Amino acid sequence: MANTVEKRRSFRIMRFTDNGKNENTPPNTQHRNSIYRKSQETDGGILHMIPDLDIPQMNFTDEYNIERTIAEGCFAKILLATHRPTNCSVVLKAVHAELTGLKDFIKEFHYSYQLSHHPNILSAYNVAFQANDYYVFAQEYAPYGDLASNLGPNGLHETACKLIAEQLSSALGFMHSKSLVHRDLKLENVLVFSPDFSRVKLCDFGATTRKGTLVGKVKHTWVSFVPPEVLESVKNERFICKTSSDSWQFGILLYSILTGSPPWQSADWVKDANYAAFMKYQKKKTTKIPDNFRKFSSRLIRCFRKYLDHSEENRAKVTEITKYLKDRWVDSKMSGSKSATLLAHAPDNDQDSICVYINQRESRYSLDESKTRLQRIMSSYGLETTIDQAAVKKRIWDWLSSCDDSYEDVEVF
């Protein structure tokens, strides 16, 4: 009995006793290396063997100080906590035991832990336990939240989008190489580790499934991210899980970060005019580029046509984006001054962070270009457009002296 308790305890806190104090240290890497040597030979190997874990019981307060709730949904609470014995900040994902079976919890924990040595996949620690009505596992903390909370109304700068796309395609490509499909790619499931987006990580492996398995629809996800073949499936109908569903969601996510919103409400060509227009163009039934894609370069439109192909078998692999990273994505003439870029994003005493957006440089260039064009037209009609700064200054002085005797106190630049 004492032995079992000891074994359970070491499982529960292995991450902290083995690896010291830095929460970013990959947990138990030695164990994982041996797993992954095997899995490469066998298309997933042990990765697909979901273990029968014995989850120990404990109270949160036995080892953790709960600092705050980061997010709370129908199925889980995301808590920021300090692990007292090591003074490490960790995130505890606490899943309602009544709503999620033990088997499903272990599956999510297993995939989260086994995949987490990829640099763009959130690290889960080798810590799982049951506390009251929750099954809980521990993860590293993402200080800048998720992509949804970082997105301005007009999206992110092209450079940031390229960084995000490259990292996500690497994470998803890695999962696909292990025959796993994420199935719930959305802005909320991409966590941000640096304000310039040079470090983002994929999270939430609750819906992750082995390719080729029969599955039902993912519950509680955005309809705009649901691929057409899933949308078309009848209620409770089961269908084969394919990597092409991640490709679709990757395309929708890419569009969303570039513009601030998804391209359509649902991939239903009967009910959604935006999707109908895109599908017509995608199937080459018209050469008219749909209005909401016109701001993109022809190369990026080509890329979108491949990711957002209505037929799942024709869809591009997630990693194909690497072919487009050197291209220009947004046509600056079409984009106007709408795009914004994240300039600074500072965590403030563990409170919700503040994002500062400024107009992107391109938009300022295009403003200058328009001014020059206007000046050229005006001077072609003999109108003077150059401004004599000295004359302006003199006019202001004259005006000030005419209306107030105390003008000497006023500085004019």
Ligand X SMILES: Nc1ncnc2c1ncn2[C@@H]1O[C@H](COP(=O)(O)OP(=O)(O)OP(=O)(O)O)[C@@H](O)[C@H]1O
Measured distance CA(258)–CA(275) in Å, rounded: 18
Give the residue with the Cβ less far from ligand X, 220 or 376. 220
**Which residue type sits at 283?**
K
Cβ burial 289-301 (10 Å sphere, 16+ → b, else e)? ebebbebbbeebb
Is there a catalytic annotation at residue 184? yes
Question: Who contacts 101 (Cβ-Cβ below 8 Å, separation ≥6)?
Answer: none
CB of 68 to ligand X, least distance (A): 11
CB of 112 to ligand X, least distance (A): 9
CB of 229 to ligand X, least distance (A): 21
CB of 67 to ligand X, least distance (A): 12
Please, are residues 94 and 131 in contact by the beta-carbon 8 Å criterion?
yes
Crossing angle for the helix pair 244-259 and 298-307, to the nearest 10 degrees:
140
Give the residue with the Cβ less far from ligand X, 200 or 340. 200
Please, are residues 203 and 176 in contact by the beta-carbon 8 Å criterion?
no
Please, are residues 202 and 189 in contact by the beta-carbon 8 Å criterion?
yes
CB of 184 to ligand X, least distance (A): 6
Give the residue with the Cβ less far from ligand X, 173 or 206. 206
Q: Which tokens in the block code for residue 295?
A: 């701001």
CB of 95 to ligand X, least distance (A): 7
Choosing from 146, 184, 204, 272, the catalytic residue is 184
Burial class (CB in 10 A: 0-12, 13-18, 19+), 125: buried
Give the residue with the Cβ less far from ligand X, 146 or 158. 146
**Which residue type sits at 390?**
A
Sequence-ordered alpha helix ranges (H) in 192-272: 228-231, 244-259
Measured distance CA(193)–CA(311) in Å, rounded: 35
**Which residue type sits at 212?**
G
Give the residue with the Cβ less far from ligand X, 222 or 407. 222
What residues make contact with ligand X under the rule CB under 6 A?
Answer: 70-71, 73, 75-76, 78, 91, 93, 122, 139, 141-142, 145-146, 188-189, 191, 203-204, 206, 220
Measured distance CA(9)–CA(13) in Å, rounded: 6
CB of 147 to ligand X, least distance (A): 9
Measured distance CA(188)–CA(64) in Å, rounded: 26
Question: Who contacts 352 (Cβ-Cβ below 8 Å, separation ≥6)?
Answer: 145
Please, are residues 272 and 265 in contact by the beta-carbon 8 Å criterion?
yes
Measured distance CA(344)–CA(356) in Å, rounded: 5
Enumerate the active-site residues. 184
